[in-house]
Amino acid sequence: MKAHDGMYIDGAWRPAAGQDVIEVVNPADEQVLATVPAGTAADVDAAVRAARAALPGWAATPPAERAARLTALRDVLDARRDEIATTVTAELGAPLKFSQAVHAAVPIAVAGSYAELAGTYAFEEKVGNSTVYHEPIGVVGAITPWNYPLHQIVAKAAPALAAGCTIVVKPAENTPLVAQLFAEAVHEAGVPAGVFNLVTGLGPVAGQALAEHPGVDLVSFTGSTAVGRRIAAVAGAAVKKVALELGGKSANVVLPDADLTKAVNVGVANVMSNSGQTCSAWTRMLVHRDQYDEAVELAAQAAAKYGERIGPVVSARQQERVLGYIEKGVAEGARLVAGGPQAPREKGYFVSPTVFADVAPDMTIAQEEIFGPVLSILRYEDEEDALRIANGTVYGLAGAVWAADEERAVAFARRMDTGQVDINGGRFNPLAPFGGYKQSGVGRELGAHGLAEYLQTKSLQF
């Protein structure tokens, strides 16, 4: 795909205000793929003004017409799914099969779900002697990460457009190409000028300008807890609404009567897919002491098999960070049973699928988000102990529970301080609310709950 050298603002590609560019690097071979403009506060300001100007018209557009534009957008994305997959593979490094099955397919499904919701959602309801209108919150400033680069954009842009909001997106610096492709798709779908705008750039420059802009009514951020905390502080001071999807350190709890082989194999695949760069990954596997050694052996075998299929991590910086955590795990006394801190190839930002056994709950690798292909296996004594360990981090984004008896798994899941739990390998549901407890975030994305984030209520009494 050819990179644009401008910003998509007010329905056209316009020259950037400054001269600086960002180099986009293929993490599999370290070659520069393209450059995109590094936006400044002036670009952000132009984009927010365009979004503001387009807001009254789009907010007043009947939901059925907004639904029609979203259906067209879904169709364009579907028609361009191969291009989406190759673009994500080039700039993120994900294996092409994974890009096709996940990085392209999930955003198409999510766009389709909002096309449908826009047409069916009750934007008006009766409550006693009141009529309650669910109105768009206004101009959205969206700041997104690189790990699921198109999904993260669609999970904000689609509900925003369905709600009648207008939006400015600042994508991650590492993955701006699929963001530009998305802007092209929005254009092709006939979404009116100014409703969707894209400013590429660096977080502390363009991202910060967007979060601080007085013309933004809602800041929707997905990324690290450290940056999210700063954005929430800026938004709080300006009394703006903020939605945060942050980090995770989720637990995969294997109860004693579970199918151990399945639980371990699915658990390893969950951590290694996308090279471990999944905020909701089950990076801590909790196993009963009687099955511990068997689980460790199974996990080591599964990780070794995964080694041939894994892509690189996104950048040299990320590789360094992940290898640093692996060294820290060794230094703190955890036992390496697969992978390790040596980069497995000379070229490309690869990390070997790594499994640690004998991990204590308070070790750094069991507390901090690594965001790489690293699994920690922890031993528990009984269910109460497992629950204490599962809930014993500052995060609460996701999790898994395995048990022969589904009711037992559900009872355990209900006691976990986390936003979503997969029972015995339950499938991803793009309509279920996604978001975190504790420091994993504020607000929910996807489905009707995700749409509600972009609405505010007005009550009229009769």
Give the helix, strand, coil percentages of the chain, each rounded to 5. Answer: 45, 20, 35
Residue with Cβ nearer ligand NAP (69 or 156): 156
Q: How many residues does the chain have?
A: 462
Q: Is 20 helix (H, G, I), strand (E, B) or coil?
A: coil
Q: Is residue 337 within 8 Å of residue 296, measured between CB atoms?
A: yes
Q: Give me the least distance between CB of 69 and ligand NAP, in Å please.
A: 25
Toward ligand NAP, which CB reaches closer, 134 or 284?
Answer: 284
Is residue 430 close enough to count as binding ligand NAP by CB under 6 A? no
CA angle, corner 5, sides to 47 and 32, nearest 5? 125
Encoded one letter per residue, x for contact with ligand NAP by CB under 6 A and - for no contact, window 254-293 reads: -------------------------x--------------
Given the complex with ligand NAP, which of 89 and 152 has the nearer CB atom? Answer: 152
Q: How far is the CB of 173 from ligand NAP (least distance, A)?
A: 4
Sheet strand arrangement including 6-9? 12-15, 6-9, 196-198, 166-170, 139-143, 218-222, 241-245, 441-442
Q: Which of 79-87, 121-129, 178-186, 197-205 is the region at the interface with ligand NAP (rule: CB under 6 A)?
A: 197-205
Q: Is 144 in the site for ligand NAP (CB under 6 A)?
A: yes
Q: Which is nearer to ligand NAP, 50 or 246 (CB)?
A: 246
Binder among 107, 112, 136, 145 for ligand NAP (CB under 6 A)? 145
Catalytic residues: 245, 279
Determine contact, residues 335/375, Cβ cutoff 8 Å.
no
Considering the rule CB under 6 A, would residue 349 count as an interface residue with ligand NAP? Answer: no
Residues 215-254 that bind ligand NAP (CB under 6 A): 222-224, 227, 230-231, 245-248
Q: How far is the CB of 219 from ligand NAP (least distance, A)?
A: 9
Compute the least distance from the CB of residue 418 to ligand NAP, in Å: 12
Give residues 10-39 in contact with ligand NAP (rule: CB under 6 A). Answer: none
Site of tokens 């292909």:
373
Which residues, at least 6 apart from 341, have a Cβ–Cβ distance to it below 8 Å? 323, 326, 327, 330
Nearer to ligand NAP, 256 or 276 (CB): 276
Rounded to a whole number, what is the distance in angstroms from the first to the last CA of the chain? Answer: 56
Query: Cα separation of 175 and 426, whole Å?
Result: 30
Amino acid at 96: L
Cα dihedral angle (14, 19, 24, 30), rounded to 10 degrees?
160
- Write down the least CB distance from residue 148 to ligand NAP, Å: 6
Residue number with the smallest Cβ distance to ligand NAP: 203
Report the distance separating Cα 226 and Cα 94, nearest Å.
25
> Given the complex with ligand NAP, which of 147 and 166 has the nearer CB atom?
147
Cβ 369 to ligand NAP shortest distance, Å:
5
**Angle at 33 (CA atoms; ends 147, 186), nearest 5 degrees:** 60
**Contact letters (x/-) for ligand NAP, 380-399, by CB under 6 A?**
-----------------x--
Minimum Å gap between C-beta 298 and ligand NAP is 27
**Count of C-beta atoms within a 10 Å radius of residue 78:** 17
C-alpha distance from residue 191 to each of 157, 197, 242, 359 (Å): 12, 11, 25, 51
CA 102/CA 149 separation, integer angstroms: 11
Interface with ligand NAP, residue 146, by CB under 6 A: yes
Among 72, 153, 179, 211, binds ligand NAP (CB under 6 A): 211
Q: Which residues bind ligand NAP (CB under 6 A)?
A: 143-147, 170, 172-173, 202-204, 207-208, 211, 222-224, 227, 230-231, 245-248, 279, 369, 371, 397, 436, 441
